[in-house]
Chain A
Amino acid sequence: MSVAARSWASLRRNALPIYAGFAVAYMLIPIVVIAVFSFGDTPKDKLTFGLDDGFTLEYWRTIFSNTQLNEAFTTSLRLAALSTVISTAIGTLMAIALVRHKFVGRRAANLLIVIPMATPEVVIGAALLSMFIYYTFALGFTTLLIAHVMFSISFVVVVVRSRLIGFDRHLEEAAADLGATPLATFRTVTLPLLAPGVVAAALLAFALSIDDFVISNFNSGTTVTFPLYVYGVSLRGIPVQVNALATLLFVVAVICVALVLWQQRRAERLAAVRPEREPAAPIPAPPAQATT
């Protein structure tokens, strides 16, 4: 076999991993670009940035020195925190109702939860704005909060529900059999087992809120969030601190997700102490040996 034919054969054999590698690179390029450019020594008036002018830690050192950016970022954090608390609380209750109870209107409730996720953001933003215009409701932090809770709820429900479906109800029955009141059962059994799902949902809600631009753009009034600030300055040229801040956010998010995953694994290990999970003994052990 010639060299060309052999390399062609090996290329064909490895076509899938090579292709996957390119796809992954495509997904990661912008993230790498953002992180690299946060170290680029760029003149302030330049529209694009790069490493042509050398490497600097200047923008990481002055990451919180831009007052407008700080203000926008604080607003975003406050908004995301509030919206996360509200949507996670409301959404968790809904998920419990949908998984644990059979009731009239369950399908309709499911539909109402799915449709907002299938609606383009522009339409959600425009519809909310239409209502606020009708009631001449002042746009600002409150309208942003209303909107953010609204689009987060569906995602919270979906995440918590998927966790609840894989939940072993025997544990709760056992607690009740051992004399726990429903409230005590909920507090000491249900909640700890549910916690990883709820935390994952809260993280998602937080990420959705802090990332949202389209719906916020319609309902912000004069309030400026982090994405709105970035959009506002993007036409003139973005302060490099934005890249540093975005990189910082990325790192924090990765750490949070890693912690949640670790916590989830641990919870699964704890919850895995189920009789049916153990390999069934082929022959019942004689009673004499069972006491060991």
Chain B
Amino acid sequence: MTSLRQRLVPYWLLGPGLLWLVVFFVVPMYFMGELALRSGSLTTGFTFDWAWSNFPDSLSGHSEQVVRSFVYAGTATVLSLLIAYPLAYAIAFRAGRFKPLLLFAVIAPFFTTYLIRTIAWKTILSDDSPLVSVLQTLALIPEDGRVLATSGAVIAGLTYNFLPFMILPLYANLERLDLRLVEAAKDLYSSSRQAFLRVTLPLTMPGIVAGVLLTFIPAFGDYVNAQLLGGTGQAMVGNVIQSLYLNQRDYPEAAALSFLMMALILAVVVVYIRFAGTGAFMGDEDEETSR
């Protein structure tokens, strides 16, 4: 009847939220780009003069941390996948009446503050902790070796903190898996291994893709784990950005580095999605990738 009014309804409903996201997400990105093209110093003030050199400068000055971020986040993502897949599989098919309890265990970390959890790891991995002396007795680390302030500690922290983001999409995907397809494969004389590789794994690819992205992206940008569990030699890109912005106040270089980081991650996501061949992350089905 009142068709124009009817057609405007969704825009009214979306209006406030979209406005908020545009003004406080999209527009700030513009200002970050603008800031990245300025030059000067904190005392003289920063003036806008298309200083494109900020981009290569910020990258070349911190290439070590960028590479380290890729290595740490990549390792943590692979470890998460190796831990999460069997766990999600066990929860989906083997847990029986323990299923709600196990799912609760998976989301329980969300109920304690991220920072305090990481500090708890700091205590667990500290030099005089029982865990470290056990590792020393088993000669897994040298007699006077430490765990804290090593790459291993940072990677363990990253793996721990982002593990739920890997488990939940995998579980959501596995739970909807039609087990009759696996049975059919076995009826057709495939071994358990073949059935897994040819049926289960391809069908759970969307969950793997979503989980890998949801783990890799925050792990790549994280700086809390490197700060609390790492030493001076474990700084990641996030630490550099944080310190440039908040301590050194070299805003143009910090903005340039943030911009490059965002671009790098977008590139990784696009390539990865092309390669893995699923639109589950960006498409209309993204509710399953949420926590």
Contact = CB atoms under 8 A, between A and B. Distances in A.
Contact of B245 (A116, A150, A154, A218): A218
Contact of B261 (A114, A120, A161): A120
Interface stretch (B10-18, B134-142, B173-181, B195-203): B10-18
Contacts of B22: 112
B24 A147 contact: yes
Nearest to A150: B24
Contacts of A101: 9-10, 13
A106 B246 CA distance: 38
Contacts of B59: none
A126 B245 contact: yes
Interface string B233-245: 0000110011001
B112 A116 contact: no
Shortest beta-carbon contacts, A-B, top 3: A120-B221, A97-B13, A101-B10
B35 interface: yes
18 contacts: A16-B86, A27-B105, A48-B122, A50-B123, A109-B14, A112-B21, A121-B218, A121-B221, A122-B221, A122-B241, A123-B261, A126-B254, A130-B28, A130-B35, A133-B251, A218-B242, A218-B245, A243-B116
Interface SS, B side: helix
Interface residues of A, number: 89
B31 interface: yes
A49 B123 contact: yes
A133 to B, nearest CB: 7
Contact of A217 (B31, B113, B242): B242
B184 interface: no
B152 interface: no
Contacts of A111: 282
Given A16-B94, A227-B115, A246-B112, A131 B27 contact: yes
B87 A23 contact: yes
A23 B110 contact: no
B120 A230 contact: no
Interface string B113-153: 11111011111101011000000000000000000000000
Contacts of B31: 127, 130-131, 133-134
Given A19-B86, A31-B109, A48-B128, A127 B20 contact: no
A141 interface: no
B17 A37 contact: no
A130, A157, A162, A204: which has the most chain B beta carbons within 10 Å?
Answer: A130
Interface string B26-41: 1111011011000000
Interface residues of B, number: 85
Interface in A18-32: 19-20, 23-24, 26-31
B290 A159 contact: yes
A23 B86 contact: yes
A109 to B, nearest CB: 6
B262 interface: yes
A214 B94 contact: no
Interface of B: 7, 9-11, 13-14, 16-18, 20-22, 24-29, 31-32, 34-35, 83-84, 86-87, 89-91, 94, 102, 105-106, 108-117, 119-124, 126, 128-129, 160, 163-164, 213, 217-218, 220-224, 228, 237-238, 241-242, 245-246, 251, 254-255, 258, 261-262, 265, 269, 281-282, 284, 286-287, 290-291
Given A27-B105, A120-B238, A165-B287, 7 more contacts: A20-B86, A26-B163, A31-B120, A109-B18, A153-B21, A247-B112, A249-B112
A171 interface: no
A227 B246 CA distance: 17
A93 B286 contact: no
Contacts of A23: 83-84, 86-87
A207 to B, nearest CB: 6
Contact of A123 (B13, B114, B258): B258
A234 to B, nearest CB: 6
Contacts of B16: 90, 93
B113 A226 contact: yes
Contact of B113 (A106, A146, A161, A246): A246
Interface string A246-284: 110110011001000000000000000000000000000
B94 A242 contact: no
B196 to A, nearest CB: 12
A259 B25 CA distance: 34
